[in-house]
Amino acid sequence: MRQRAEWMKPADDAILEYTRDAGEVPPAVIARNIDIHRNYAGQRCLELAEYGLLEKEEGGYYRLSDLGREYLDEELDADELEPDDPSDTA
């Protein structure tokens, strides 16, 4: 059974599964295919990327990361992930 983190939302698994199957996609396409609002999909993609489960590509596209694949394959407990700290780059 997948170990979701407390910060994760119910749509996150569907987002990760869709990106695994579709490859690089923008949030609007994800939203249309899993039946959520595109703004919400964009917010969730940003957070999933912050925790390393998705990788943000050029043009606002996202793809599944290696960590995301491990999570979907039930090899990773998402509670073990830490968000990237944008202030570290300042």
What is the mean pLDDT of the segment spanning 29-55?
A: 97
pLDDT in tens, 58-89: 999 999 999 999 999 999 999 999 998 654 44
Per-residue model confidence (pLDDT) at position 85? 64
- Domains of the chain, each with CATH number or no CATH: 10-76 (1.10.10.10)
Q: CA dist 56 to 19, 49, 65, 68, Å?
A: 12, 7, 9, 13
The model's pTM? 0.90
